[in-house]
Amino acid sequence: MEVIKFGKFAALVVAFGVVVGCSSKGGDAAGTGAVDPNAGYGSSTSSTSGSSVSSEEAALRAITTFYFEFDSSELKPEAMRALDVHSKDLKAQGNRVALEGHTDERGTREYNMALGERRAAAVQRYLVLQGVSPAQLELISYGEEKPAATGSSEEAWAQNRRVELRK
Amino acid sequence: MNTMKYWLTCAAMLLLAQVALAQEAIEITRGSDRATPIAVVPFGWQGSTPLAEDLAEITGNDLRNSGMFQPFARENMLSHPTRAEEIFPRDWKMLGVEYVLAGQVTGSAEGYQVQYHLYNVAREQVLLSRTVSGTQNQLRDMAHRVSDEVFEHITGIKGAFSTKLLYVAAERFSADNIRYTLQRADYDGARTVTLLQSREPILTPSYAPDGQRIAYVSFESRRPEIFVHYIQTGRRERITSFEGLNGAPAWSPDGKRLAFVLSRDGNPEIYVMDMDSKQMRRVTNHYAIDTEPTWLDNNTLVFTSDRGGRPQIYKQNLNSGTTERLTFVGNYNANAKLSVDGRTMVMVHRQDGYRNFHIATQDLERGNLKVLTETSLDESPTVAPNGTMLIYATRQQGRGVLMLVSTNGRARSEIPTKFTDLRVPSWSPYLP
């Protein structure tokens, strides 16, 4: 139910070109100053709102990594906008993609394996709600085993809490 | 105004000093009694070339690692006896040494013997005189045998120094070129042997109680699968390869069953498989994350679940299905391991905040919690079969290291390695 609600919310966001900040329900990351590699993305696209729809679509299509707050598997509005474009493509082309869930290094490895899957499943659920067939989506969690950025900083952790859509 | 500032500073310093004193007091009371001073005298050796291993040093390190002994510094010894009749109590009494371990190595590359003597200084009495033998390649085994026998004689606890350690090493050549290897070493990190090599992650190795089989998760086919690997032959058996998670394998104490995590039903649940029939059944049924099973006994699983909103540790009776929460202190408790006697649980513990993960022990009868480590990002604890030591993984300057700490918190050392990045240690049972 909640996901559907968020889907509508995201659609509204796209329709009105509203810039929305962090809508996280606030897992542990609330107030921890976690860095979001996608931050500022919304504002940069809204400034080009006058340009053609296709170029905006192309920009969204180029986004294949979706970031999460700490200990959260909740999709961010900017991720939903990119996923809307991907779902359109997936429905049109019928191809199969992998959704790889990842976490940062904090917490135990096997728990993070489960958390990474929860994140991949959140992306899967959203895409299925947009009409993509579950058979097109392969879920795999790597937990904290394949960090995108090394090191134990807030910046590295924010880069690592992600789902990657791979063709 | 200045005097006021002066007095305020003084008051603040006094307060700080008191805080420091209070902290020191806590430090002192941390161990219930002090480590027993023992002199492990360099073993005599008459050979023309030096021995490949310093046996007395290995034994001294073993005893220190237990947290129950404090080996006396060699350079301060007044004499270096190698035979029982050369041990003079006055040499050691004045140094405050309670026990002396002296010995003599004889033999050649075809075979060695260590004849050792354990001496009680206060009673002026030889407690133990024994001989341990082995080949050139077994010099370290011989030293660990001596440690086991001496440790058991003094403490009454079976020594666990002749045990092995599994861990995974990761060598990063570039972002997408990482070599993962499963290593088996002596418990102290010496003599590593590579059991498996992969370009994809290897996770959660776990020794079977027979010491012959190990289970682990390998991503070698680009998705997680659980394998059982026979150490002697190298034969491997793929146990699970379901859609979704295949993780966290853990052997039952009788070695007949394997608990693990699958998410094939939509979210992570714990399953138990009979290893003869390969029949499996699902044990948990909850929409939360259930993972990291471990066995309290052949009928009881202990596992991590965030069914209460945060990861905490629960126990479930396999016959009745009743579930009970075990941890209530801290906002994150996970990856429990149990001492063989089932009395002490070791786990990853976070008191508060979001960053500081420590290793803690919890007394399962009395419930009291003891935090053993002070670094952050501490994880993957594994307990020696006699419960006196544990090894865990942490991060130092961007690399994963393994630390050995005694359960009484007194001894701590890094496991030496030639690899840059280590993780997921698993301590073997007692080996034949």
pLDDT (average), residues A30-36: 35
pLDDT score of A38 more than 70: no
B6 band by pLDDT with thresholds 50, 70 and 90? low
pLDDT score of A6 more than 70: no
Q: Nearest-CA distance from A52 to chain B in Å?
A: 36
Do the bridges between strand B246-251 and strand B257-262 make them parallel or antiparallel, or are there none, so unpaired? Answer: antiparallel
Judged by a CB distance cut-off of 8 A, whether residue A109 touches chain B is yes
Average pLDDT, chain B: 92
What is the predicted pLDDT for the residue at A4?
42
C-alpha to C-alpha distances, B251 to A29, B209, B248, B260, B429, nearest whole angstrom: 36, 7, 10, 9, 11
B332 interaction partners in chain A (CB closer than 8 Å): 107
pLDDT (average), residues B302-324: 96
What is the predicted pLDDT for the residue at B32?
43
What is the predicted pLDDT for the residue at B344?
94
H or E stretch including B51?
Answer: none
pLDDT score of A50 more than 70: no
Judged by a CB distance cut-off of 8 A, whether residue B50 touches chain A is no
Q: B44 versus A72: which is more confidently predicted?
A: B44
pLDDT (average), residues B194-207: 97
What is the predicted pLDDT for the residue at B4?
52
Q: Do A107 and B263 touch (CB under 8 A)?
A: no
Q: A28 versus B135: which is more confidently predicted?
A: B135
Q: Nearest-CA distance from A1 to chain B in Å?
A: 15
**Which of A111, A118, A148 is facing B311, going by the closest CB pair?**
A111
Q: A14 versus B260: which is more confidently predicted?
A: B260
pLDDT score of B49 more than 60: yes
Question: Per residue in B57-70, pLDDT tens?
Answer: 999 999 999 999 99
What is the predicted pLDDT for the residue at B3?
52
pLDDT score of A33 more than 80: no
pLDDT score of B421 more than 70: yes
Within the 78-97 window of chain A, which residues sit less than 8 Å (CB to CB) from chain B?
none
CB of A7 closer than 8 Å to CB of A132: no
CB of A74 closer than 8 Å to CB of A66: no
Question: Per residue in B80-111, pLDDT tens?
Answer: 999 999 999 999 999 999 999 999 999 987 89
Q: Domains plus CATH for chain B?
A: 36-155 (3.40.50.10070), 164-427 (2.120.10.30)
pLDDT score of A47 more than 80: no
**Which of A105, A114, A140 is facing B223, going by the closest CB pair?**
A140
Judged by a CB distance cut-off of 8 A, whether residue B167 touches chain A is no
pLDDT (average), residues B25-43: 69
Q: Do A29 and B354 touch (CB under 8 A)?
A: yes
A29 interaction partners in chain B (CB closer than 8 Å): 354
What is the predicted pLDDT for the residue at B105?
97
Question: Could you tell me which chain A residue has the CA closest to the CA of B399?
Answer: A151
A28 band by pLDDT with thresholds 50, 70 and 90? very low
Radius of gyration of chain B from Cα atoms?
Answer: 24
Question: Per residue in A83-122, pLDDT tens?
Answer: 999 999 999 999 999 999 999 999 999 999 999 999 999 9
Per domain, the residue ranges of chain A are 2-166
pLDDT score of B26 more than 70: no
B292 interaction partners in chain A (CB closer than 8 Å): 108, 110-111
Question: Could you tell me which chain B residue has the CA closest to the CA of A147?
Answer: B175
pLDDT score of B418 more than 80: yes
Q: Do A110 and B423 touch (CB under 8 A)?
A: no
Judged by a CB distance cut-off of 8 A, whether residue A70 touches chain B is yes
Judged by a CB distance cut-off of 8 A, whether residue A112 touches chain B is no
pLDDT score of B16 more than 60: no
pLDDT score of B251 more than 90: yes
A108 interaction partners in chain B (CB closer than 8 Å): 292, 304, 311, 334-335, 348, 379-380
Q: What is the DSSP string of B72-126?
A: PPGGG-S----SGGG--HHHHHTTT--EEEEEEEEEETTEEEEEEEEEETTTTEE
What is the predicted pLDDT for the residue at B193?
96
Enter the CATH code of domain A2-166.
3.30.1330.60
How far is A106 from A150, CA to CA, in rounded Å? 13
What is the predicted pLDDT for the residue at A151?
87
For testing contact with chain A, the best of B171, B246, B270, B291 (most A CBs within 10 A): B291
Task: Tell me A135's DSSP state.
Answer: G
**ipTM value for the complex:** 0.88
Share of chain B above pLDDT 90, in %: 86
pLDDT (average), residues A13-41: 36
Q: Do B203 and A110 touch (CB under 8 A)?
A: yes
CB of B134 closer than 8 Å to CB of B111: yes
Judged by a CB distance cut-off of 8 A, whether residue A135 touches chain B is no
